[in-house]
Amino acid sequence: MATSEIATLGGGCFWCLEAVYDEMQGVVSVESGYMGGHVPNPDYHTVCTGRSGHVEVVQVTFDTSVASYRDILEVFFAIHDPTSLDRQGNDSGPQYRSVIFYHDEQQRATAEQLIAELNGDLPRPIVTELRPATTLYLAEDYHQEYFRNNPQQPYCTFVVSPKVKKFREKFAARLRHS
């Protein structure tokens, strides 16, 4: 019997993370949304001001018999820059910060352990925040499966596509079998 778990991650634009996790073996679903702020029911324009406190996140539901929480985090740390404060590439502001919203103490401990291991391998310290998960506000419908639905859009071509390519190359063994 399959058991599912949820991971909620912010690492820049949610389109990038969603596109990668959509291709990962063991992932059941990926939803883009907003978490961690103080404004109820935020929308994209409110979050983009950087003043709502929310982060663009993906909520990844995965089958623990196929992928572990650590597997999910290893991909997360490989496909974004966890040493960059409040920005990923040209996307800047607190809504693009690197953050892991943990759902229980085991997730928090796993994330802390992996951060400690990776910190020695990177040129700068990891600035990824660890915060308890709060309410997920789903992003607008047009943000869901954005890369899948708009692969030729310039942002997708120049920003999302290279991250998907990196995932495919680095984690070939974790690719979903079609």
pLDDT digits (tens, 9 = 90+) for 107-137: 999 999 999 999 988 889 999 999 999 999 9
pLDDT digits (tens, 9 = 90+) for 56-91: 999 999 999 999 999 999 999 999 999 999 999 889
Residue spans of the domains in the chain: they are 4-174
Catalytic sites, residue numbers: 13
Task: Supply 25's token pair.
Answer: 């073996």
pTM value is 0.95
Q: Report the DSSP pairing between strands 129-132 and 98-102.
A: parallel
Scanning the structure block, which residue is given the tokens 């109820």? 40
Helix 69-79 vs helix 161-170: crossing angle, to nearest 10 = 130
Which is the CATH superfamily of the domain at 4-174? Peptide methionine sulphoxide reductase MsrA (3.30.1060.10)
pLDDT for 33: 98
